């Protein structure tokens, strides 16, 4: 009976932790290192949610307005870098450098955000296959 209880406990632990490891994606699974982007626009929405924060940026160009969804690091990681949900209020003009999603579309993994005053924020993820482009050093 004790052995059976032990086996069931181990099985439960494996199931508990395996879901979390499968839920997270690598950079290369979703984003294209060969499609770097640099967009300029205005923050229209910030989602401070797990597993990644999202910054929605309205880009105005000759073809009309586009809303880009920019994926950042986890809220906890960003917070440890000094970035909070209030760092980018709605209406803030920013420049975003990052990498576009595979297949195109208006979504990207953000690496670095430059504010109007020239300050740079590293908002990217690290350790999941994202390119090491030195953005971490630019904060």
Domain locations along the chain: 27-128
Superfamily holding 27-128 = Nucleic acid-binding proteins (2.40.50.140)
Q: Cα 85 to chain center, whole Å?
A: 13
Instruction: Please report the sign of the dihedral spanned by the C-alpha atoms of residue 138, residue 37, residue 26, residue 82.
Output: positive
Q: Report helix, strand or coil for 112.
A: strand
Give all strands (DSSP E) within the chain, no chain letters: 31-47, 54-61, 64-71, 93-101, 107-115, 120-122
pLDDT in tens, 18-76: 444 444 557 778 899 999 999 999 999 999 999 999 999 999 988 889 999 999 999 99
For residue 86, the 8-state DSSP code is: T
Threshold 0.85, pTM exceeds: no
Flag the least confident range among 2-11, 42-51, 58-67, 103-112.
Answer: 2-11
Cα gap 113→65, rounded to integer Å: 20
């Amino acid at each position: 009976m004790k052995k059976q209880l032990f086996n069931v406990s181990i099985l439960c632990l494996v199931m508990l932790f395996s879901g979390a490891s499968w839920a997270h994606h690598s950079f290369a699974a979703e984003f294209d290192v060969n499609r770097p982007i640099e967009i300029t626009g205005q923050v229209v929405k910030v989602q401070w949610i797990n597993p990644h924060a999202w910054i929605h940026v309205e880009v105005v160009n000759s073809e009309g307005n586009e809303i880009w969804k920019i994926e950042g690091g986890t809220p906890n990681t960003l917070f440890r870098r000094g970035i909070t949900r209030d760092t980018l209020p709605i209406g803030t003009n920013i420049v975003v450098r990052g990498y576009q999603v595979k297949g195109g579309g208006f979504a990207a993994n953000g690496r670095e955000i430059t504010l109007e005053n020239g300050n740079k924020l590293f908002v990217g993820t690290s350790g999941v296959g994202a390119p090491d482009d030195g953005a971490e050093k630019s904060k």
